[in-house]
Structure formats: C-alpha cells, structure tokens
Amino acid sequence: MISSPLQLCLVFSSLLFCIGLAGALSRSNSILVLLGIELMLNAANLNFIAFWRFGPAPSPATGVIFVTFSVAVAAAEAAVGLALVIAVYRRQRNIRLQEAVRLKG
C-alpha cells in the first residue's frame, strides 16, 4: 500500500498532526494546548517539504520558502500565545483552561 516515499511522509505528517490535535483537545493545561498546536503546525510544514522533495514539479523552491515563513510565523505565534498564558496566570493564579472563562478585563 505504501508505494512511494511521498505516501510515507504523508502518513507520518498526518500521524503527527493527529497526535497534536489529540493532545491539544485532551489536556487542560493551556501550555500543553499551545504545544499541541505547535505540533500541528510542524506537521503541516512537514507536508510542504514532503511535496517539494517527492512531488512531481521539478524544483520550484516555493515549498522551502513557505516553510521558512511558516516557521517564523509559528515562533511569533508561540511568543504571543505564551504571553497570553502568563497574563491569564496573573489573573487567576492557575492556567487551567476550563477556568479561564471570566471575560472581565
């Protein structure tokens, strides 16, 4: 069934994606949720490189450039996300996701 290495990469990235998704959904600690999202982002990047490497097109480096940009954006997102987590922690002393419901500033 897994004939070409491209399919191997696709299987690998979708597995990684689902681990990230399951992790993000199951854990109540917001830092782990953020890390789950980070994992899903990595899985997406993986697909880009897989298609660039094993894909049909000769070699436009758009896939590689796309991944560079997405790594940069993911870093910015991680920074802002964790800043939010710290702000939430300062508000309610613990970072359990279920208890972050108060919208008052």
Partner 1 sequence: MTTALLLLICLVTLGSAATAMLLRNLIHSVLLLIGSWIGVAIFYLSCGAEFVAFAQLLVYVGAVSMVVLFAVLLTRRSRTDVTVSADTVSRAWSAVMAGGAVLAVLLYGALMTTLPAASAHGPAAPVKQLGAELMGIHAASLLVIGMILTVATLGSVVIASEEPSGKKEDAP
Among 76, 101, 102, 104, binds partner 1 (CB under 8 A): 76
**72 touching partner 1, by CB under 8 A:** yes
Q: Which residues, numbered 25-44, are part of the site for partner 1 (CB under 8 A)?
A: 25-29, 31-32, 34-36, 38-39, 42
Helix (H, G, I), strand (E, B) or coil at 80: helix
Q: Which residues, numbered 46-65, are part of the site for partner 1 (CB under 8 A)?
A: 46, 49-50, 52-59, 61-62, 64-65
- Whether 97 and 29 have beta carbons less than 8 Å apart is answered as yes
Among 15, 100, 103, 104, binds partner 1 (CB under 8 A): 15
Contacts (Cβ under 8 Å, ≥6 apart) of 8: 2
**Rounded CA separation 18/39 (Å):** 9
